[in-house]
């Protein structure tokens, strides 16, 4: 069924002639692979299934089969790493364009922009001679404590699915394989190498797998990365989920790669669908004192099992076939482009993604935009105004050719107003796996900031999190929901001396905002890459009208989040297991269904303009299971400047026979309108997208009966509720 859908999609996108050409090309490649396999020795086959360095796996030189070179890079190609340790090689030509983190991309709700992002980062990977780019990440935002949420695409599986597909197509256009990660259920960093996730099949299929499924079936991704954690007591990098769902049900024909060091057992790795093992920690003694890579699970132990006939040679042949197929798509492709790096076009894409990702959350008395007035003194306060955010964060840290800080961007944009800066607080240097406190005196920094704020006409506080350990960083989760380093108290002090204060939060996670009623304006700025300061200044000044929408909910307090509303067995777990008791009610599904009002709803974001949406209707009142619903509406820009709005369509079953969320996102459309412009919008929705996963039959089922169609501008701002019937 899935392969038929993929074929039909290919017909629609490329047409019959291109489809036939692609089929012929695939046939020729498979024939070449058939001719190569008998020429390989068993040792050569096994060698292709594991690393030879930190970021490469071997080829077969005598046959001209090249090595495969990989790089971290969900939002930019990582600097070169040493051959066999984690130190940087200190090249002088590996500085790249840093693109915004994927939370910012998801906040754009712009699939065309996701494609442009993928093309640009893929071109940089190609120029750097990489065959696999280790990204994007699509793990679902379950808790605001997860240290790697900034690398992912939010809490909603539909949005993540829609945004990941064009990213993949853009990257792979360059002959570079995207590697979607981390399959599956890697929703926390705390004890990630040990924890076993317990979640029911329905939540697995409805919440945690859809973006991976879309990546395979719609995106045609060429590689998938496994995850560190276990699922029901079995490690995910060699779990039955690989063969059963990924390769069999979805028809994935690419390569499964471990996360670095996530393999644990030779036989499971061999038989359960793992193709390339990377990063396993070995002592280098068991099989060879010279080469620790021989000690990998899919190395000498795998070879022994094959020679002893404990494992059939067809198992390694399938892995090698997949690896060769990936090579013919990448480093053996005859029409592979050359790529390029740090071009003006790449910088423009980075800036545009950053602009469209920034979310305006509060704007009392039109605090934003801020004019460039000669009479104005603007106090920019906060360490994040000057701190480099491309550094740190774990494997996604970048060596950017340049990074425009928020302060620099504001200074460059504001030629007339007087810009002054105080650090206000300090976090300490970035370090992976440890917290290094700042040596600066906190009281002195705060006092200097308050003194500056007293004399200013307005205050712009630039704070949030950063890429340090236990913040937005791989390897461990956050410790608390409030702002770190005394920022909450500092904001309170600043407001007391200058009520004309706005806040810019740089983070990949939601935060507690007890100070929110006291401030005039609030922007969610994410981690915005090389062009961060320029993009923020574009929005702060009003040169760009903000149009970003939150890709996850902001709870008022931590306990309002589903994963934090139970006991520690639900998060962070008891040390060995974590139980997803919130089930399918993740993010806004929890808030809506439990009637817990969030601080800011999923999909929420303001504009400097205003919009009226009218004549909302569906094309019919009743539908068959094979039909499409079309939601039509009129939208008018009623403000005084050009702007964009994202109209969102949610559906919910009335009187369902199974537990359901009140509503779920099933369609959206972003429209850009000039001042006074009116447009007609249409959002198509497939009836098949209304199906739930029926555990009793292990398949999807469309429940007949009445549904509500909710149309609005966020999950919490519904303008119209319509009723339809599925026959």
Angle, helix 532-541 to helix 406-413, in steps of 10 degrees: 50
N-terminal to C-terminal alpha carbon distance within the chain = 22
Q: Indicate the burial class of 216 (C-beta count within 10 angstroms; 0-12, 13-18, 19 or more).
A: buried
Instruction: Give the model's pLDDT for residue 515.
Output: 98
- Cβ neighbors of 333 (< 8 A, separation 6 or more) are 175
Lowest mean pLDDT among 211-220, 431-440, 605-614, 669-678: 431-440
pLDDT digit string (tens) for 237-263? 999 999 999 999 999 999 999 999 999
- Cβ neighbors of 344 (< 8 A, separation 6 or more) are none
Are the C-beta atoms of residues 75 and 472 closer than 8 Å to each other?
Answer: no
Q: How far apart are CA 265 and CA 263, in angstroms?
A: 6
Nearest to 513 by CA among 471, 473, 543, 483: 483
Are the C-beta atoms of residues 584 and 659 closer than 8 Å to each other?
Answer: yes
- Above 50 in pLDDT, residue 13? no
pLDDT-based confidence at residue 20 (cuts at 50, 70, 90):
low
- Above 90 in pLDDT, residue 24? no
Q: How far apart are CA 571 and CA 593, in angstroms?
A: 20
Q: How far apart are CA 225 and CA 248, in angstroms?
A: 17
pLDDT-based confidence at residue 285 (cuts at 50, 70, 90):
confident
pLDDT digit string (tens) for 652-695? 999 999 999 999 999 999 999 999 999 999 999 999 999 999 99
pLDDT-based confidence at residue 18 (cuts at 50, 70, 90):
low
Are the C-beta atoms of residues 466 and 427 closer than 8 Å to each other?
Answer: yes
Domains assigned to the chain: 40-329 (3.20.20.300), 358-552 (3.40.50.1700), 606-726 (2.60.40.10)
- Please state the rounded mean pLDDT for residues 187-216: 98
Instruction: Give the model's pLDDT for residue 12.
Output: 47
The answer, yes or no, to whether the previous bond of 696 is cis (omega within 30 of 0) is no
- Above 70 in pLDDT, residue 56? yes
Q: Which helix (H) or strand (E) holds 504?
A: strand 501-506
- Please state the rounded mean pLDDT for residues 310-337: 97
pLDDT digit string (tens) for 448-470? 999 999 999 999 999 999 999 99
Q: How far apart are CA 208 and CA 213, in angstroms?
A: 10
- Please state the rounded mean pLDDT for residues 12-41: 78
DSSP 603: T
Q: How far apart are CA 155 and CA 578, in angstroms?
A: 18
SS3 assignment, position 332: coil
- Above 50 in pLDDT, residue 11? no
Instruction: Give the model's pLDDT for residue 632.
Output: 98
Answer with the residue of higher pLDDT: 286 or 3: 286
- Above 90 in pLDDT, residue 386? yes
- Above 60 in pLDDT, residue 21? no
- Above 90 in pLDDT, residue 3? no
pLDDT digit string (tens) for 614-652? 999 999 999 999 999 999 999 999 999 999 999 999 999
pTM: 0.96
User: DSSP string of 49-103?
Assistant: TB-SBTTEE--BGGGTBPPEEEEE-SSSPPPPBPSSSSSB---SS--BPPPPPHH
Give the whole-number percent of the chain exceeding pLDDT 70.
97
- Please state the rounded mean pLDDT for residues 440-446: 98
- Please state the rounded mean pLDDT for residues 535-539: 98
pLDDT digit string (tens) for 61-75? 999 999 999 999 889
Instruction: Give the model's pLDDT for residue 57.
Output: 98
Q: How far apart are CA 699 and CA 659, in angstroms?
A: 16
Instruction: Give the model's pLDDT for residue 287.
Output: 79
Cα 1 from chain centroid? 28
Alpha helices in 311-364 (DSSP H): 313-329, 344-357
Nearest to 187 by CA among 482, 455, 561: 561
Q: How far apart are CA 708 and CA 704, in angstroms?
A: 13
Instruction: Give the model's pLDDT for residue 22.
Output: 62
Instruction: Give the model's pLDDT for residue 10.
Output: 47
pLDDT digit string (tens) for 94-142? 999 999 999 999 999 999 999 999 999 999 999 999 999 999 999 999 9
Pairing of strands 699-701, 692-694: antiparallel
Q: Where are the beta strands (DSSP E) in 245-358?
A: 255-257
Nearest to 639 by CA among 669, 682, 677, 671: 677
Q: How far apart are CA 354 and CA 548, in angstroms?
A: 9
Q: Is 259 a known active-site residue?
A: yes
Average pLDDT, the chain: 96
Instruction: Give the model's pLDDT for residue 16.
Output: 58
7, 9, 13, 80, 493 from 19: Cα distances, Å: 9, 10, 9, 38, 64
Instruction: Give the model's pLDDT for residue 375.
Output: 93
Pick the catalytic residue: 72, 131, 156, 259? 259
Q: How far apart are CA 24 and CA 33, in angstroms?
A: 14
SS (HEC) of 543-602: CCCCCCCCCCCECCCHHHCHHHCCCCCCCCCCCCEEECCCCCCCCHHHHHHHCCCCCECC
Q: How far apart are CA 303 and CA 294, in angstroms?
A: 10
User: DSSP string of 668-709?
Assistant: EEEEEE-TT-EEEEEEEEEGGGG-EEETTTTEEEPPPEEEEE
What would you report as the CA-atom Rg of the chain, rounded to the nearest whole angstrom?
A: 26
Q: How far apart are CA 317 and CA 322, in angstroms?
A: 9
Pairing of strands 196-198, 501-506: unpaired
pLDDT digit string (tens) for 363-380? 999 999 999 999 999 999
pLDDT digit string (tens) for 569-584? 999 999 999 999 999 9
Q: How far apart are CA 23 and CA 1, in angstroms?
A: 18
**Count of Cβ atoms closer than 10 Å to residue 365 Cβ:** 7
């Amino acid at each position: 069924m899935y392969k038929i859908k993929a074929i039909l999609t290919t017909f629609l996108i490329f047409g019959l002639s291109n489809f036939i050409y692609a089929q012929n090309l695939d046939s020729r490649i498979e024939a070449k692979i058939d001719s190569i396999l008998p020429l390989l020795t068993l040792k050569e086959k096994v060698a292709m299934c594991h690393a030879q360095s930190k970021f490469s796996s071997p080829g077969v030189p005598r046959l001209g089969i090249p090595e495969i070179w990989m790089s971290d890079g969900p939002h930019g190609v990582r600097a070169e790493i040493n051959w066999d340790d984690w130190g940087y090689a200190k090249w002088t030509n590996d500085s790249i364009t840093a693109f915004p983190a994927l939370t910012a991309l998801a906040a754009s709700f712009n699939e065309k922009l996701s494609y442009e992002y993928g093309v640009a980062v893929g071109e940089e990977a190609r120029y750097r001679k990489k065959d696999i780019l280790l990204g994007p990440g699509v793990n679902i935002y379950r808790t605001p404590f997860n240290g790697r949420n900034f690398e992912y695409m939010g809490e909603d599986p539909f949005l993540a699915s829609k945004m990941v597909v064009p990213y993949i197509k853009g990257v792979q256009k360059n002959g570079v394989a995207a590697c979607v990660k981390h399959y599956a259920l890697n929703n926390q960093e705390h004890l990630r190498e040990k924890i076993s996730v317990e979640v029911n099949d329905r939540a697995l299929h409805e919440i945690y797998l859809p973006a991976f499924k879309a990546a395979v079936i719609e995106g045609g991704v060429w590689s998938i990365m496994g995850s560190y954690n276990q699922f029901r007591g079995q490690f995910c990098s060699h779990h039955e989920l690989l063969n059963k769902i990924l390769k069999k049900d979805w028809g994935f024909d690419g390569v499964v790669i471990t996360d670095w060091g996530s393999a644990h057992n030779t036989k499971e790795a061999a038989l359960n669908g793992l193709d390339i093992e990377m990063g396993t920690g070995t002592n280098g003694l068991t099989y060879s004192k010279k080469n620790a890579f021989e000690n990998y699970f899919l190395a000498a132990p795998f070879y022994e099992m094959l020679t002893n006939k404990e494992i059939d040679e067809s198992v390694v042949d399938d892995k090698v076939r997949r690896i060769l197929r990936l090579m013919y798509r990448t480093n053996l492709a005859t029409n592979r482009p050359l790529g390029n790096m740090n071009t003006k076009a790449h910088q423009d894409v980075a800036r545009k993604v950053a602009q469209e990702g920034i979310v305006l959350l509060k704007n009392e008395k039109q605090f934003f935009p801020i004019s460039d007035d000669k009479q104005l003194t603007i106090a920019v306060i906060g360490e994040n105004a000057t701190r480099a955010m491309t550094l740190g964060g774990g494997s996604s840290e970048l060596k950017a050719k340049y990074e425009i800080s928020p302060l620099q961007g504001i200074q460059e944009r504001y030629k007339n107003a007087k810009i002054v800066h105080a650090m206000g607080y300090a976090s300490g240097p970035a370090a992976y796996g440890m917290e290094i406190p700042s040596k600066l005196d906190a009281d002195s920094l705060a006092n200097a900031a308050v003194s500056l704020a007293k004399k200013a006409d307005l205050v712009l506080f630039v704070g949030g999190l950063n890429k340090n350990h236990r913040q937005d960083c791989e390897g461990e989760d956050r410790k608390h929901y409030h702002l770190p380093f005394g920022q909450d108290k500092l904001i309170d002090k600043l407001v007391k001396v200058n009520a004309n204060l706005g806040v810019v939060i740089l983070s990949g996670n939601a935060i507690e905002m007890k100070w929110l009623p006291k401030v005039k304006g609030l922007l969610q700025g994410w981690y915005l890459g090389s062009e961060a300061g320029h993009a923020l200044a574009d929005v702060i000044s009003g040169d760009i009208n903000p149009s970003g929408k939150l890709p996850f909910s902001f709870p008022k307090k931590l306990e309002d989040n589903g994963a934090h509303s139970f006991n520690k067995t639900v998060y962070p777990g008891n040390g060995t297991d974590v139980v997803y008791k919130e089930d399918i009610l993740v993010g806004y599904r929890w808030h809506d269904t439990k009637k817990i009002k969030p601080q800011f709803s999923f999909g929420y974001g303001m504009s400097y303009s205003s919009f009226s949406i009218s004549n909302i209707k569906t094309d019919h009142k009743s539908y068959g299971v094979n039909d499409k619903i079309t939601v039509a509406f009129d939208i008018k820009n009623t403000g005084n400047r050009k702007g964009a709005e994202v109209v969102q369509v949610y559906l919910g079953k009335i009187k369902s026979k199974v537990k359901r969320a009140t509503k779920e996102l099933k369609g959206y459309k972003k429209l850009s309108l000039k001042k006074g412009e009116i447009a007609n919008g249409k959002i198509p929705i497939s009836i098949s997208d209304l199906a739930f996963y029926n555990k009793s039959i292990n398949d999807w089922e469309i429940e007949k009966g009445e549904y509500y169609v909710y149309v609005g501008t966020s999950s919490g701002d519904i303008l119209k509720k319509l009723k339809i019937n599925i026959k």
